[in-house]
Amino acid sequence: MKKYTDINDITNISQTINEAIQLKKAPFEYKNLGTNKTLVMLFFNASLRTRLSTEKAARNLGMDVICLQINNSWNLEFEDGTIMNLDTSEHIKEAAKVIAQYADIIAVRAFPSLKNKDLDYAEVIINSFTKYANIPVVNLESATAHPLQALADAITINEFSTNKRPKVVLSWAPHPKALPQSVANSFVTMMQLLPVDFTITHPEGYELNSEVTKNTKVTYNQDEALKDADFVYVKNWSSYKDYGNILSQDENWMITQKKINNAKFMHCLPVRRNVVVEDAVLDSDNSIVINQANNRTYAAQIVLKQILEELN
């Protein structure tokens, strides 16, 4: 693996899932693979799980880790040819090359603007690091994707599946803030690669990018979608069509015990209790969100392992 900015950077998804599950059973088996190698993590936005699980994964492989809240560093310029006499202090061309001298692998979190769809969907920030750093780049959630989250989700579904072709539902839920489509996009992309019966449900106006959803089943009727579900993956996202805007905060889309029945409840976290999902669900045996968050370490570890193997 040369980089992990997109789920399609994984050559064999089922093998990668199985290798991650093996790593989970023996997390220090490759503890010398990353000796004298450094992971530099750059955060333009907040994080808990990604920040901690990715560092844990790197250290499990013997890597050194340096983490920078880069939004507290110099304000970077990403456009070519700009006369930088306003509020940007350093061009990504210099910053990426300088950082690459301190790192063997760079990992970046940069959420979308949710203002400019073309710029966001051009993935300017993470693609600039990939272009100018010339070392492997890992996506810690970018403007349109969260591939490490999706890999952890796939590992979790593999672990908890009780039948060969489980019914998986991605349901939108309300949230007071306008959130990225990144997690939803990557979950949809990952489900399209797995042997699952997959349905997306959301209110009208929340259709995801059709280049992502392709021919995946979509319904505006949440009750119909949730019927006989084995896994219910819940996430809020802002409108793609009416880019970055909140069109609904309909409380009827909040997940309740009554709606979820015996399905396993999944969410990438952080989750707004009693807005996205009621307490009763999160506090029940239906919820596997803690197991799901634990799998973030092994998703990151198998990705870093495959990148290190290519470097060594």
Ligand X SMILES: CCC[C@H](NC(C)=O)C(=O)O
Ligand Y SMILES: NC(=O)OP(=O)(O)O
**Minimum distance from residue 192 beta carbon to ligand Y (Å):** 20
Q: What is the 3-state secondary structure (H, E, C) of the chain?
A: CCCECCHHHCCCHHHHHHHHHHHHHCCCCCCCCCCCCEEEEEECCCCCHHHHHHHHHHHHCCCEEEEECHHHCCCEECCCCCCCCCCCCEEHHHHHHHHHHHCCEEEEECCCCCCCHHHHHCCHHHHHHHHHHCCCEEECCCCCCCHHHHHHHHHHHHHHCCCCCCEEEEEECCCCCCCCCHHHHHHHHHHCCCCCEEEEECCCCCCCCHHHHCCCEEECCHHHHHCCCCEEEEECCCCCCCCCCCCCCCHHHCECHHHHCCCEEECCCCCCECCCECHHHHCCCCECHHHHHHHHHHHHHHHHHHHHHHHC
Choose among ligand Y, ligand X, none what residue 205 binds, the Cβ cut-off being 5 to 8 Å by kind.
Answer: none
Q: Is 290 in the site for ligand Y (CB under 6 A)?
A: no
Binders of ligand Y among 50-89, rule CB under 6 A? 50-51
Give the one residue of 143, 179, 200, 304 binding ligand X; rule: CB under 6 A.
Answer: 179
Asked if 277 is part of the footprint of ligand Y (rule: CB under 6 A), the reply reads no
Report if residue 112 touches ligand X, rule: CB under 6 A: no
Binding characters for ligand X, 131-170, by CB under 6 A (x = yes)? ----------x-----------------------------
Q: Which does 48 bind (CB under 5 to 8 A by kind): ligand Y, ligand X, none?
A: ligand Y
Residues with Cβ within 8 Å of 225's Cβ and at least 6 positions away in sequence, in order, are 169, 171, 199, 200, 201, 219
Supply φ then ψ for residue 172, to 5 degrees.
-70, 150
- Give the residue, chosen from 18, 38, 47, 127, that forms a contact with ligand Y under the rule CB under 6 A: 47
Among 135, 145, 173, 183, binds ligand X (CB under 6 A): 183
- Tokens for 295? 């799998």
CB of 135 or CB of 200, closer to ligand X: 200
Cα R_g (the chain), whole angstroms: 19
Site size toward ligand Y, by CB under 6 A: 10
Q: Residue 55 or 141: which CB sits closer to ligand X? A: 141
291 in contact with ligand Y (CB under 6 A) = no
Stretch of 24-32, 66-74, 216-224, 264-272 lying at the interface with ligand Y (CB under 6 A): 264-272
Answer yes or no whether residue 297 interacts with ligand X by CB under 6 A. Answer: no
By CB under 6 A, the residues from 139 to 158 that bind ligand Y are 141, 149
**Which two three-digit tokens encode residue 148?**
């490490």
Which residue of 147, 166, 180, 244 would you call a contact of ligand X, by CB under 6 A?
Answer: 180
Cβ-closest position to ligand X: 179
* Only segment of 61-69, 164-172, 225-233, 266-274 that touches ligand Y (CB under 6 A): 266-274
Smallest separation (angstroms) from ligand Y to the CB of 303? 14
- Give the count of residues interacting with ligand X (CB under 6 A): 7
By CB under 6 A, name the binding residues for ligand Y: 47-51, 141, 149, 268-270
